[in-house]
Chains A and B, each alone.
Chain A
Protein backbone atom coordinates (compact mmCIF):
# COMPACT_ATOMS: atom_id res chain seq x y z
CA UNK A 1 0.00 0.00 0.00
CA UNK A 2 2.65 2.45 1.10
CA UNK A 3 4.98 1.37 -1.66
CA UNK A 4 2.28 1.94 -4.22
CA UNK A 5 1.65 5.39 -2.83
CA UNK A 6 5.36 6.14 -2.86
CA UNK A 7 5.64 5.23 -6.51
CA UNK A 8 2.47 7.13 -7.32
CA UNK A 9 3.73 10.30 -5.69
CA UNK A 10 7.42 10.21 -6.48
CA UNK A 11 8.00 8.22 -9.64
CA UNK A 12 4.84 8.73 -11.65
CA UNK A 13 5.18 12.51 -12.25
CA UNK A 14 8.80 12.43 -13.53
CA UNK A 15 8.01 9.49 -15.82
CA UNK A 16 5.08 11.44 -17.28
CA UNK A 17 7.36 14.47 -17.69
CA UNK A 18 10.05 12.55 -19.52
CA UNK A 19 7.43 10.81 -21.68
CA UNK A 20 5.90 14.15 -22.69
CA UNK A 21 9.35 15.53 -23.42
CA UNK A 22 10.08 12.64 -25.79
CA UNK A 23 6.68 13.03 -27.50
CA UNK A 24 7.26 16.76 -28.10
CA UNK A 25 10.73 15.96 -29.40
CA UNK A 26 9.26 13.37 -31.79
CA UNK A 27 6.70 15.83 -33.12
CA UNK A 28 9.34 18.49 -33.64
CA UNK A 29 11.61 15.98 -35.40
CA UNK A 30 8.74 14.92 -37.68
CA UNK A 31 8.26 18.45 -38.91
CA UNK A 32 11.95 19.21 -39.37
CA UNK A 33 14.31 17.47 -41.70
CA UNK A 34 17.50 18.41 -39.90
CA UNK A 35 16.52 17.49 -36.35
CA UNK A 36 16.87 13.73 -35.64
CA UNK A 37 14.19 12.09 -33.51
CA UNK A 38 14.64 10.19 -30.24
CA UNK A 39 14.89 6.77 -31.85
CA UNK A 40 17.56 7.77 -34.32
CA UNK A 41 19.49 9.52 -31.55
CA UNK A 42 19.18 6.47 -29.30
CA UNK A 43 20.56 4.16 -32.01
CA UNK A 44 23.46 6.49 -32.54
CA UNK A 45 24.11 6.65 -28.79
CA UNK A 46 24.18 2.87 -28.53
CA UNK A 47 26.90 2.77 -31.18
CA UNK A 48 28.79 5.62 -29.58
CA UNK A 49 28.76 4.15 -26.08
CA UNK A 50 29.57 0.62 -27.21
CA UNK A 51 33.18 1.73 -27.63
CA UNK A 52 33.70 4.82 -25.47
CA UNK A 53 37.46 4.56 -25.12
CA UNK A 54 38.86 4.17 -28.64
CA UNK A 55 41.72 6.38 -29.64
CA UNK A 56 42.34 7.26 -33.30
CA UNK A 57 44.68 10.15 -32.81
CA UNK A 58 44.09 13.56 -31.18
CA UNK A 59 41.04 14.51 -33.24
CA UNK A 60 39.13 11.24 -33.04
CA UNK A 61 38.68 9.72 -29.61
CA UNK A 62 35.82 7.94 -27.84
CA UNK A 63 33.12 9.82 -25.94
CA UNK A 64 34.59 8.47 -22.67
CA UNK A 65 37.94 10.17 -23.33
CA UNK A 66 36.17 13.41 -24.20
CA UNK A 67 34.19 13.41 -20.97
CA UNK A 68 37.21 12.47 -18.86
CA UNK A 69 39.35 15.17 -20.46
CA UNK A 70 36.71 17.80 -19.77
CA UNK A 71 36.29 16.59 -16.18
CA UNK A 72 40.06 16.67 -15.78
CA UNK A 73 40.25 20.32 -16.85
CA UNK A 74 37.37 21.22 -14.55
CA UNK A 75 39.04 19.29 -11.72
CA UNK A 76 42.38 21.07 -12.08
CA UNK A 77 40.95 24.56 -12.56
CA UNK A 78 38.43 24.07 -9.83
CA UNK A 79 40.97 22.52 -7.45
CA UNK A 80 43.34 25.45 -7.89
CA UNK A 81 40.46 27.84 -7.32
CA UNK A 82 39.55 26.02 -4.09
CA UNK A 83 43.16 26.04 -2.95
CA UNK A 84 43.36 29.81 -3.31
CA UNK A 85 39.72 30.88 -2.96
CA UNK A 86 38.86 29.17 0.33
CA UNK A 87 41.81 30.47 2.38
CA UNK A 88 41.25 33.87 0.79
CA UNK A 89 37.59 33.66 1.81
CA UNK A 90 38.62 33.00 5.42
CA UNK A 91 40.89 36.04 5.42
CA UNK A 92 38.30 38.26 3.74
CA UNK A 93 35.65 37.14 6.23
CA UNK A 94 37.86 37.54 9.29
CA UNK A 95 39.72 40.80 8.56
CA UNK A 96 37.44 43.73 7.93
CA UNK A 97 40.18 45.83 6.36
CA UNK A 98 40.93 43.19 3.72
CA UNK A 99 37.21 42.70 3.16
CA UNK A 100 36.77 46.38 2.34
CA UNK A 101 39.97 46.35 0.32
CA UNK A 102 38.96 43.45 -1.93
CA UNK A 103 35.20 43.93 -2.12
CA UNK A 104 35.14 46.49 -4.99
CA UNK A 105 37.49 44.34 -7.07
CA UNK A 106 35.51 41.16 -6.46
CA UNK A 107 32.20 42.91 -7.13
CA UNK A 108 33.52 44.26 -10.41
CA UNK A 109 35.18 41.09 -11.72
CA UNK A 110 32.54 38.58 -10.61
CA UNK A 111 29.89 39.43 -13.25
CA UNK A 112 32.41 39.23 -16.10
CA UNK A 113 31.72 36.33 -18.43
CA UNK A 114 34.40 33.70 -17.80
CA UNK A 115 35.12 33.44 -21.53
CA UNK A 116 36.27 37.05 -21.57
CA UNK A 117 39.28 35.79 -19.61
CA UNK A 118 40.24 33.28 -22.29
CA UNK A 119 42.38 35.62 -24.41
CA UNK A 120 44.33 36.65 -21.31
CA UNK A 121 44.93 32.98 -20.60
CA UNK A 122 46.08 32.32 -24.14
CA UNK A 123 48.35 35.34 -23.97
CA UNK A 124 49.95 34.35 -20.67
CA UNK A 125 50.18 30.57 -21.09
CA UNK A 126 50.65 30.49 -24.86
CA UNK A 127 48.79 27.16 -24.99
CA UNK A 128 45.14 26.15 -25.28
CA UNK A 129 44.90 23.67 -22.43
CA UNK A 130 46.21 25.85 -19.60
CA UNK A 131 44.08 28.69 -20.97
CA UNK A 132 40.94 26.54 -20.64
CA UNK A 133 41.95 25.62 -17.09
CA UNK A 134 42.54 29.30 -16.37
CA UNK A 135 38.99 30.09 -17.46
CA UNK A 136 37.62 27.41 -15.14
CA UNK A 137 39.79 28.74 -12.34
CA UNK A 138 38.60 32.31 -12.72
CA UNK A 139 34.94 31.35 -13.02
CA UNK A 140 34.92 29.14 -9.94
CA UNK A 141 37.01 31.24 -7.58
CA UNK A 142 34.39 33.97 -6.93
CA UNK A 143 31.65 31.84 -5.39
CA UNK A 144 34.24 30.14 -3.21
CA UNK A 145 35.67 33.40 -1.84
CA UNK A 146 32.27 34.99 -1.39
CA UNK A 147 30.56 32.04 0.30
CA UNK A 148 33.47 31.17 2.57
CA UNK A 149 33.72 34.80 3.66
CA UNK A 150 29.98 34.90 4.28
CA UNK A 151 30.21 31.77 6.43
CA UNK A 152 32.99 33.29 8.51
CA UNK A 153 31.04 36.52 8.93
CA UNK A 154 27.91 34.66 10.02
CA UNK A 155 29.73 32.83 12.78
CA UNK A 156 27.39 33.13 15.79
CA UNK A 157 28.73 35.32 18.60
CA UNK A 158 27.81 32.48 21.00
CA UNK A 159 30.50 30.24 19.57
CA UNK A 160 33.08 32.99 19.84
CA UNK A 161 32.03 33.56 23.45
CA UNK A 162 32.59 29.86 24.11
CA UNK A 163 36.04 30.20 22.58
CA UNK A 164 36.78 33.20 24.78
CA UNK A 165 35.45 31.66 27.98
CA UNK A 166 37.37 28.44 27.38
CA UNK A 167 40.35 30.54 26.36
CA UNK A 168 40.99 28.35 23.30
CA UNK A 169 44.13 28.74 21.22
CA UNK A 170 43.88 30.24 17.73
CA UNK A 171 44.48 26.81 16.22
CA UNK A 172 41.69 25.21 18.29
CA UNK A 173 39.35 28.07 17.42
CA UNK A 174 40.03 27.44 13.75
CA UNK A 175 39.74 23.65 13.79
CA UNK A 176 36.92 23.26 16.31
CA UNK A 177 34.81 26.36 15.68
CA UNK A 178 35.64 28.47 12.65
CA UNK A 179 36.18 25.69 10.12
CA UNK A 180 33.19 23.47 11.02
CA UNK A 181 30.90 26.50 11.32
CA UNK A 182 31.96 27.71 7.88
CA UNK A 183 31.95 24.32 6.19
CA UNK A 184 28.28 24.37 5.03
CA UNK A 185 28.78 27.80 3.45
CA UNK A 186 32.01 26.63 1.88
CA UNK A 187 30.22 23.64 0.37
CA UNK A 188 27.55 25.94 -1.07
CA UNK A 189 30.37 27.91 -2.68
CA UNK A 190 31.91 24.73 -4.03
CA UNK A 191 28.58 23.61 -5.44
CA UNK A 192 27.97 26.92 -7.19
CA UNK A 193 31.55 26.92 -8.44
CA UNK A 194 31.47 23.44 -9.89
CA UNK A 195 28.12 24.18 -11.55
CA UNK A 196 29.58 27.24 -13.25
CA UNK A 197 32.78 25.43 -14.14
CA UNK A 198 30.88 22.65 -15.87
CA UNK A 199 28.78 25.24 -17.72
CA UNK A 200 31.84 27.10 -18.87
CA UNK A 201 34.02 24.17 -19.93
CA UNK A 202 31.88 23.37 -22.98
CA UNK A 203 32.15 26.91 -24.31
CA UNK A 204 35.84 27.17 -23.47
CA UNK A 205 36.68 23.92 -25.26
CA UNK A 206 34.74 25.00 -28.32
CA UNK A 207 37.19 27.88 -28.58
CA UNK A 208 40.39 26.13 -27.56
CA UNK A 209 39.95 22.73 -29.23
CA UNK A 210 41.68 19.56 -28.09
CA UNK A 211 40.07 16.45 -26.64
CA UNK A 212 36.97 17.35 -24.63
CA UNK A 213 33.21 17.31 -24.73
CA UNK A 214 33.00 20.98 -25.82
CA UNK A 215 35.30 20.58 -28.76
CA UNK A 216 33.60 17.31 -29.63
CA UNK A 217 30.27 19.18 -29.98
CA UNK A 218 31.94 21.68 -32.29
CA UNK A 219 33.61 18.94 -34.27
CA UNK A 220 30.33 17.08 -34.73
CA UNK A 221 28.70 20.34 -35.85
CA UNK A 222 31.36 20.61 -38.55
CA UNK A 223 30.60 17.00 -39.49
CA UNK A 224 26.87 17.87 -39.42
CA UNK A 225 26.32 14.90 -37.09
CA UNK A 226 23.31 16.32 -35.22
CA UNK A 227 22.59 13.09 -33.30
CA UNK A 228 25.97 13.40 -31.64
CA UNK A 229 25.30 17.01 -30.69
CA UNK A 230 22.06 16.00 -29.01
CA UNK A 231 23.85 13.15 -27.25
CA UNK A 232 26.49 15.61 -26.07
CA UNK A 233 23.79 17.86 -24.62
CA UNK A 234 22.39 14.93 -22.66
CA UNK A 235 25.86 13.86 -21.52
CA UNK A 236 26.74 17.36 -20.31
CA UNK A 237 23.40 17.57 -18.51
CA UNK A 238 23.70 14.20 -16.84
CA UNK A 239 27.30 14.70 -15.74
CA UNK A 240 26.34 18.11 -14.33
CA UNK A 241 23.42 16.55 -12.49
CA UNK A 242 25.66 13.84 -11.02
CA UNK A 243 28.21 16.41 -9.83
CA UNK A 244 25.43 18.42 -8.22
CA UNK A 245 23.95 15.35 -6.50
CA UNK A 246 27.34 14.32 -5.19
CA UNK A 247 27.91 17.71 -3.63
CA UNK A 248 24.40 17.93 -2.18
CA UNK A 249 25.06 14.56 -0.55
CA UNK A 250 28.34 15.85 0.82
CA UNK A 251 26.70 19.03 2.08
CA UNK A 252 23.99 17.06 3.86
CA UNK A 253 26.64 15.10 5.66
CA UNK A 254 28.02 18.35 7.09
CA UNK A 255 24.86 20.28 7.93
CA UNK A 256 23.95 20.67 11.58
Chain B
Protein backbone atom coordinates (compact mmCIF):
# COMPACT_ATOMS: atom_id res chain seq x y z
CA UNK B 1 0.00 0.00 0.00
CA UNK B 2 1.38 3.39 -0.99
CA UNK B 3 1.28 5.65 2.02
CA UNK B 4 -0.20 9.06 1.32
CA UNK B 5 -1.04 10.35 4.76
CA UNK B 6 1.13 9.00 7.55
CA UNK B 7 0.57 9.37 11.27
CA UNK B 8 3.54 8.04 13.21
CA UNK B 9 3.68 7.57 16.97
CA UNK B 10 1.65 10.65 17.52
CA UNK B 11 0.93 11.77 21.04
CA UNK B 12 -1.13 14.80 21.89
CA UNK B 13 -1.55 16.36 25.29
CA UNK B 14 -3.14 19.63 26.30
CA UNK B 15 -2.07 21.86 29.15
CA UNK B 16 -4.94 22.28 31.57
CA UNK B 17 -5.30 23.74 35.02
CA UNK B 18 -4.92 20.28 36.52
CA UNK B 19 -1.75 19.49 34.59
CA UNK B 20 -1.26 17.84 31.22
CA UNK B 21 -4.24 16.03 29.71
CA UNK B 22 -3.22 13.26 27.32
CA UNK B 23 -5.79 13.14 24.53
CA UNK B 24 -4.06 10.81 22.08
CA UNK B 25 -1.36 8.23 22.68
CA UNK B 26 0.74 6.19 20.27
CA UNK B 27 -1.42 6.75 17.23
CA UNK B 28 -0.17 5.15 14.02
CA UNK B 29 -2.16 5.31 10.83
CA UNK B 30 -1.38 5.11 7.13
CA UNK B 31 -3.83 6.18 4.50
CA UNK B 32 -3.47 5.41 0.82
CA UNK B 33 -4.21 7.78 -2.03
CA UNK B 34 -7.85 7.72 -3.06
CA UNK B 35 -8.91 6.02 0.13
CA UNK B 36 -11.98 6.99 2.16
CA UNK B 37 -11.31 6.58 5.86
CA UNK B 38 -13.65 7.39 8.71
CA UNK B 39 -12.66 7.92 12.33
CA UNK B 40 -15.33 6.74 14.72
CA UNK B 41 -15.53 6.65 18.50
CA UNK B 42 -17.45 7.95 21.45
CA UNK B 43 -17.40 11.69 22.02
CA UNK B 44 -14.25 12.85 23.72
CA UNK B 45 -12.14 10.04 22.21
CA UNK B 46 -9.91 12.46 20.37
CA UNK B 47 -11.09 11.78 16.83
CA UNK B 48 -11.50 15.48 16.09
CA UNK B 49 -8.11 16.11 17.68
CA UNK B 50 -6.57 13.62 15.26
CA UNK B 51 -8.28 15.32 12.34
CA UNK B 52 -7.09 18.75 13.51
CA UNK B 53 -3.57 17.37 13.75
CA UNK B 54 -3.73 16.23 10.13
CA UNK B 55 -5.22 19.58 9.18
CA UNK B 56 -2.29 21.27 10.90
CA UNK B 57 -4.55 23.30 13.19
CA UNK B 58 -2.86 21.53 16.10
CA UNK B 59 0.76 20.47 16.51
CA UNK B 60 1.46 17.06 18.08
CA UNK B 61 3.26 16.89 21.41
CA UNK B 62 5.24 13.96 20.10
CA UNK B 63 5.50 12.00 16.86
CA UNK B 64 5.21 13.13 13.28
CA UNK B 65 2.54 13.53 10.60
CA UNK B 66 3.23 13.44 6.87
CA UNK B 67 1.12 14.26 3.85
CA UNK B 68 2.51 13.18 0.47
CA UNK B 69 5.91 12.63 2.12
CA UNK B 70 6.06 16.14 3.51
CA UNK B 71 5.85 16.92 7.18
CA UNK B 72 2.68 18.68 8.24
CA UNK B 73 3.90 21.89 9.86
CA UNK B 74 0.68 23.89 9.83
CA UNK B 75 -2.56 24.30 7.94
CA UNK B 76 -2.28 24.45 4.19
CA UNK B 77 -4.41 24.41 1.07
CA UNK B 78 -3.21 20.90 0.21
CA UNK B 79 -5.58 19.70 2.95
CA UNK B 80 -9.12 20.97 2.46
CA UNK B 81 -11.21 21.08 5.62
CA UNK B 82 -15.00 20.85 5.87
CA UNK B 83 -16.13 22.03 9.29
CA UNK B 84 -19.12 20.70 11.19
CA UNK B 85 -20.73 24.11 11.39
CA UNK B 86 -19.89 24.95 7.75
CA UNK B 87 -17.96 28.12 8.79
CA UNK B 88 -18.95 30.13 5.77
CA UNK B 89 -18.33 33.86 5.99
CA UNK B 90 -21.84 35.34 6.29
CA UNK B 91 -21.01 38.61 4.50
CA UNK B 92 -19.82 36.85 1.34
CA UNK B 93 -22.07 35.16 -1.19
CA UNK B 94 -21.68 31.43 -1.80
CA UNK B 95 -19.66 32.29 -4.89
CA UNK B 96 -17.38 34.68 -3.00
CA UNK B 97 -16.87 32.16 -0.20
CA UNK B 98 -15.60 29.59 -2.66
CA UNK B 99 -13.73 32.19 -4.70
CA UNK B 100 -11.74 33.22 -1.62
CA UNK B 101 -10.30 29.70 -1.42
CA UNK B 102 -9.77 29.41 -5.18
CA UNK B 103 -7.99 32.74 -5.32
CA UNK B 104 -5.65 31.75 -2.52
CA UNK B 105 -4.55 28.54 -4.24
CA UNK B 106 -4.58 29.49 -7.91
CA UNK B 107 -4.54 33.30 -7.82
CA UNK B 108 -0.84 33.61 -8.54
CA UNK B 109 -0.82 31.46 -11.65
CA UNK B 110 -4.25 32.00 -13.18
CA UNK B 111 -6.30 34.94 -14.41
CA UNK B 112 -9.65 36.08 -13.12
CA UNK B 113 -11.65 34.25 -15.79
CA UNK B 114 -9.99 30.98 -14.92
CA UNK B 115 -10.60 31.52 -11.19
CA UNK B 116 -14.25 32.26 -11.90
CA UNK B 117 -14.51 29.09 -13.97
CA UNK B 118 -13.05 27.01 -11.14
CA UNK B 119 -15.49 28.54 -8.66
CA UNK B 120 -18.47 27.85 -10.95
CA UNK B 121 -17.27 24.32 -11.46
CA UNK B 122 -16.92 23.60 -7.74
CA UNK B 123 -20.41 24.93 -7.02
CA UNK B 124 -21.75 22.98 -9.99
CA UNK B 125 -20.27 19.82 -8.52
CA UNK B 126 -22.46 20.20 -5.42
CA UNK B 127 -25.46 21.30 -7.54
CA UNK B 128 -25.60 24.84 -6.24
CA UNK B 129 -25.17 26.83 -9.44
CA UNK B 130 -28.58 28.41 -8.83
CA UNK B 131 -27.58 29.71 -5.38
CA UNK B 132 -24.20 31.22 -6.27
CA UNK B 133 -25.24 34.78 -5.56
CA UNK B 134 -27.08 34.02 -2.31
CA UNK B 135 -25.73 34.81 1.12
CA UNK B 136 -25.25 31.86 3.51
CA UNK B 137 -28.16 33.04 5.66
CA UNK B 138 -30.49 32.76 2.70
CA UNK B 139 -29.93 29.03 2.12
CA UNK B 140 -30.67 25.88 4.12
CA UNK B 141 -28.28 24.06 6.44
CA UNK B 142 -27.71 21.29 3.91
CA UNK B 143 -26.91 23.80 1.18
CA UNK B 144 -24.45 25.61 3.46
CA UNK B 145 -22.66 22.36 4.10
CA UNK B 146 -22.51 21.76 0.34
CA UNK B 147 -20.90 25.18 -0.16
CA UNK B 148 -18.41 24.17 2.54
CA UNK B 149 -17.62 21.00 0.59
CA UNK B 150 -17.35 22.99 -2.67
CA UNK B 151 -14.96 25.41 -0.98
CA UNK B 152 -12.74 22.57 0.21
CA UNK B 153 -12.85 20.71 -3.12
CA UNK B 154 -12.22 23.84 -5.21
CA UNK B 155 -8.72 24.07 -3.77
CA UNK B 156 -8.02 20.65 -5.31
CA UNK B 157 -6.59 19.41 -2.02
CA UNK B 158 -4.53 16.28 -1.73
CA UNK B 159 -6.74 15.23 1.16
CA UNK B 160 -10.26 16.22 2.12
CA UNK B 161 -10.73 16.40 5.88
CA UNK B 162 -14.28 16.39 7.17
CA UNK B 163 -15.17 16.92 10.83
CA UNK B 164 -18.66 15.48 11.34
CA UNK B 165 -19.79 17.35 8.25
CA UNK B 166 -23.37 16.14 8.38
CA UNK B 167 -23.73 15.99 12.16
CA UNK B 168 -25.92 19.07 12.41
CA UNK B 169 -28.30 18.09 9.60
CA UNK B 170 -31.59 16.22 9.74
CA UNK B 171 -31.59 12.54 8.76
CA UNK B 172 -33.07 12.97 5.29
CA UNK B 173 -30.74 15.80 4.28
CA UNK B 174 -27.84 13.82 5.72
CA UNK B 175 -28.67 10.78 3.58
CA UNK B 176 -28.98 12.96 0.52
CA UNK B 177 -25.60 14.60 1.11
CA UNK B 178 -23.95 11.25 1.81
CA UNK B 179 -25.12 10.00 -1.58
CA UNK B 180 -23.89 13.18 -3.20
CA UNK B 181 -20.53 12.94 -1.45
CA UNK B 182 -20.10 9.35 -2.69
CA UNK B 183 -20.67 10.51 -6.26
CA UNK B 184 -18.28 13.46 -5.91
CA UNK B 185 -15.55 11.32 -4.37
CA UNK B 186 -15.96 8.76 -7.15
CA UNK B 187 -15.72 11.49 -9.78
CA UNK B 188 -12.77 13.34 -8.25
CA UNK B 189 -11.01 10.30 -6.81
CA UNK B 190 -10.39 12.25 -3.61
CA UNK B 191 -8.65 11.00 -0.52
CA UNK B 192 -11.00 11.61 2.37
CA UNK B 193 -10.64 11.41 6.13
CA UNK B 194 -13.95 11.91 7.92
CA UNK B 195 -14.82 12.08 11.58
CA UNK B 196 -18.24 10.71 12.42
CA UNK B 197 -20.22 9.16 15.24
CA UNK B 198 -22.79 7.67 12.90
CA UNK B 199 -22.21 3.95 12.37
CA UNK B 200 -24.33 3.72 9.22
CA UNK B 201 -22.58 6.69 7.69
CA UNK B 202 -19.19 5.14 8.41
CA UNK B 203 -20.08 1.79 6.83
CA UNK B 204 -21.78 3.34 3.83
CA UNK B 205 -18.95 5.70 2.90
CA UNK B 206 -15.68 4.14 4.03
CA UNK B 207 -13.04 1.90 2.62
CA UNK B 208 -11.72 1.53 6.14
CA UNK B 209 -13.18 2.43 9.51
CA UNK B 210 -10.75 3.49 12.21
CA UNK B 211 -12.30 2.81 15.60
CA UNK B 212 -10.87 4.64 18.55
CA UNK B 213 -10.83 3.69 22.22
CA UNK B 214 -12.20 6.02 24.85
CA UNK B 215 -10.08 8.88 26.11
CA UNK B 216 -8.13 10.04 27.96
CA UNK B 217 -5.06 8.70 26.17
CA UNK B 218 -7.20 7.37 23.34
CA UNK B 219 -5.64 5.01 20.85
CA UNK B 220 -6.71 3.32 17.68
CA UNK B 221 -8.59 0.24 18.85
CA UNK B 222 -9.31 -1.59 15.61
CA UNK B 223 -9.27 -0.87 11.92
CA UNK B 224 -12.01 -2.48 9.90
CA UNK B 225 -11.88 -3.03 6.13
CA UNK B 226 -15.17 -2.31 4.41
CA UNK B 227 -14.99 -4.56 1.36
CA UNK B 228 -18.42 -3.74 -0.03
CA UNK B 229 -18.34 -3.14 -3.80
CA UNK B 230 -18.78 0.39 -5.18
CA UNK B 231 -20.89 2.15 -6.27
CA UNK B 232 -22.85 1.53 -3.12
CA UNK B 233 -26.57 1.96 -2.83
CA UNK B 234 -28.14 2.48 0.58
CA UNK B 235 -31.31 0.63 -0.36
CA UNK B 236 -29.50 -2.42 -1.68
CA UNK B 237 -27.19 -2.42 1.34
CA UNK B 238 -30.14 -2.51 3.71
CA UNK B 239 -30.59 -6.19 2.90
CA UNK B 240 -26.92 -6.98 2.31
CA UNK B 241 -25.39 -9.57 4.66
CA UNK B 242 -21.87 -8.08 4.32
CA UNK B 243 -23.15 -4.65 5.29
CA UNK B 244 -24.81 -6.00 8.42
CA UNK B 245 -21.72 -7.97 9.39
CA UNK B 246 -19.53 -4.85 9.27
CA UNK B 247 -22.15 -2.72 10.96
CA UNK B 248 -22.41 -5.35 13.69
CA UNK B 249 -18.65 -5.33 14.16
CA UNK B 250 -18.57 -1.55 14.62
CA UNK B 251 -21.48 -1.63 17.04
CA UNK B 252 -19.82 -4.41 18.99
CA UNK B 253 -16.64 -2.37 19.28
CA UNK B 254 -18.47 0.75 20.41
CA UNK B 255 -21.05 -0.74 22.75
CA UNK B 256 -19.42 -3.89 24.08
CA UNK B 257 -15.66 -3.57 24.08
CA UNK B 258 -15.43 0.16 24.70
CA UNK B 259 -18.71 1.06 26.23
CA UNK B 260 -18.83 4.58 27.59
CA UNK B 261 -20.66 5.48 30.76
CA UNK B 262 -23.33 8.04 30.19
CA UNK B 263 -21.93 11.39 31.21
Residues of A within 8 A of B (CB): 158-159, 161-162, 164-168, 172, 176-177, 180-181, 254, 256
Taking the complex as formed, is B255 at the interface, i.e. its CB lies under 8 A from any CB of chain A? Answer: no
Interface 1/0 per residue, B55-96 and A, CB below 8 Å: 101000000000000000011110111010101011110000
- Closest chain A CB from B104 CB (angstroms): 5
Q: Is A166 a contact partner of B87 (Cβ separation < 8 A)?
A: no
Chain A to chain B contacts (Cβ below 8 Å), 11 pairs: A161-B57, A161-B81, A165-B57, A165-B79, A165-B80, A166-B101, A166-B155, A177-B89, A180-B91, A256-B91, A256-B137
- In the complex with contacts A161-B83, A165-B55, A176-B89 CB distance below 8 A: yes
Chain B binding surface SS class: loop
Residues of B in contact, count (CB < 8 Å)? 22
Closest chain A CB from B83 CB (angstroms)? 7
Chain B residue at minimum C-beta to C-beta distance from A179: B91
Contact count A vs B, C-beta below 8 Å: 47
A181 CB contacts on chain B under 8 angstroms: 91
Cα distance A180–B91 when bound, in Å? 7
Q: Is the CB of A158 within 8 A of B100?
A: no
Q: Which residue of A lies closest to B135 (CB)?
A: A256
A256 vs B90: C-alpha distance when bound (angstroms): 6
Top 5 closest pairs, chain A to chain B, by CB: A256-B90, A180-B91, A158-B87, A165-B81, A164-B75
User: Which of B75, B76, B79, B91 lies at the interface centre, i.e. has the most chain A CB atoms within 10 A of its CB?
Assistant: B91
Asked if B104 contacts A176 (CB within 8 A), the reply is: no
Question: Given A158-B83, A172-B104, A176-B100, is A165 in contact with B75 using a C-beta cutoff of 8 Å?
Answer: yes
Min CB distance, A222 to chain B, in Å? 53
Using CB atoms and an 8 Å cutoff, list the residues of chain B in contact with chain A. 55, 57, 74-77, 79-81, 83, 85, 87, 89-92, 100-101, 104, 135, 137, 155
Residue among A162, A165, A254 making CB contact with B89, cutoff 8 Å: A162
**Which of B79, B85, B92, B101 makes the CB contact (< 8 A) with A158?**
B85
CA distance A159 to B101 in the complex (A): 13
* A168 and B92 contacting across the interface, CB-CB below 8 Å: no
The answer to whether A167 and B77 have CB atoms under 8 Å apart is yes
Query: In the complex the two chains form, what is the Cα distance from A158 to B135 in whole Å?
Result: 17
Q: How far is the CA of A161 from the CA of B79 in the complex (A)?
A: 13
Closest-by-CB residue of B relative to A164 is B75
CB B109 to nearest CB in A, in angstroms, measures 16
Residues of A within 8 A of B91 (CB): 180-181, 254, 256
For the complex, give the distance between the alpha carbons of A244 and B74 in Å: 46
Instruction: Tell me which residues across on chain B come within 8 A of A161, comparing CB atoms.
Output: 57, 81, 83, 87
A61 to chain B, nearest CB (A): 45
CA distance A172 to B77 in the complex (A): 15
Smallest distance from the beta carbon of B145 to chain A beta carbons, Å? 14
State the Cβ distance, B179 to closest chain A Cβ, in Å: 26
CB distance from B225 to the nearest CB of A (A): 30
Q: Which residues of B lie under 8 Å from residue A164 when comparing CB positions?
A: 57, 74-75
Q: Is the CB of A159 within 8 A of B100?
A: no
Chain B residues contacting A167 (CB-CB under 8 Å) are: 75-77, 104
Q: Min CB distance, A136 to chain B, in Å?
A: 31
Rounded to whole angstroms, the CA-CA distance of A159 and B80 in the bound complex is 15
A residues within 8 A CB of B101? 166
Complex-state Cα separation, A168 to B151, whole angstroms: 14
Q: Are B89 and A159 in contact (CB under 8 A)?
A: yes
What distance in Å separates the Cβ of A157 from its nearest Cβ neighbour in chain B? 10
Q: List, in ascending order, chain B residues with CB within 8 A of A176's CB.
A: 89, 92, 100
Residues of A within 8 A of B89 (CB): 159, 162, 176-177, 180
Q: Which residues of A contact B104 (CB under 8 A)?
A: 166-168, 172
Closest chain-B Cβ to A152's Cβ sits at a distance in Å of: 16
From known contacts A158-B87, A172-B104, A256-B90, infer whether A166 and B57 are also in contact, taking CB-CB under 8 Å. no
